[in-house]
Amino acid sequence: MRSRGAIGVFDSGVGGLSVLQHIRQALPRERLIYVADSGHVPYGDKSPAFIEARSLAIAQFLVEQGAGAIVIACNTATAAAVTALRSRFPLPVIGMEPAVKPAAVATRSGVVGVLATVGTLESARFAALLERYGEEVEIVTQGCPGLVEQVEQGDMDSTRTRALIERYTAPLLARGADTLILGCTHYPFLAASIRRAVGDDVALVDTGAAVARHLQHRVDAELPPGSGSEASEQFFTSGDPAEAARIMSILWGSEVAVLRLPQQYL
């Protein structure tokens, strides 16, 4: 009988752990493999061709590790590479995109703010989202250089982090946004600091739980039943494993060991 395989998840860095947490809750018996491409973070200022090449390499590694499904836990990588990955690999490939639809439903003021990387905001996939929902609500976007790097350093609430958040949220609030989309998987780790900056009346929308539910549906429909005996997590990085272990342990909520990707995938 064909093995169900592991769930492979990757991001430009540690931000995708926010999605992995939802996946673990939705699929408590699965073997999870996570790759942080921290040696090349952030993706937001990289070319689409570079991001596609990195995504294909990491996906190949995950498949070789036994992944039966892949989650691109990164909005920027999804925009640049999800089509290529779905063409290359005959297995479920789940991507991310900013949660414009639920935010459009949630807003009371009719103004939705999007916090995201420049790469996500400039992508054709995001442009299609704006075209689809932009007639229903006013969508105001804000690129957030520097926020990914703060999370990569484990710095969620320093003076610098709070200053960046206030700088990026202020224009959205000034336009009347009462709903903010966290359009990067790193940003849920900044939710407490964002909440302090914007107040309790502004809704924060994150897509991690919805992605986990979609993955659960695809896995149950398309993969062989799992035995439940392999439940575990493995963590890899293209950066410094010791530093990655320090940061990932903070974000994951318990101590984790992190291995370096093999040389051919760096």
Please list the active-site residues. Answer: 74, 184
Cβ neighbours, 10 Å, residue 232: 10
- The C-alpha angle 207, 209, 215, rounded to 5 degrees, equals 100
Inter-residue contact 48 to 118 (CB < 8 Å): no
Contact criterion met (CB below 8 Å) for 241 and 223: no
> Residue 72 phi/psi, 5° resolution?
-85, 95
Paired residues of 143 in beta bridges: 116
Dihedral, CA of residue 217, residue 221, residue 222 and residue 225, to nearest 10: 100
Helical residues (DSSP H) of 27-183, grouped into ranges: 48-64, 75-88, 100-106, 118-121, 124-133, 147-152, 159-174
In one-letter notation, the amino acid at residue 223 is L
∠ CA 192-198-204, rounded to 5°: 65
Dist. CA 19–CA 36, nearest whole Å = 12
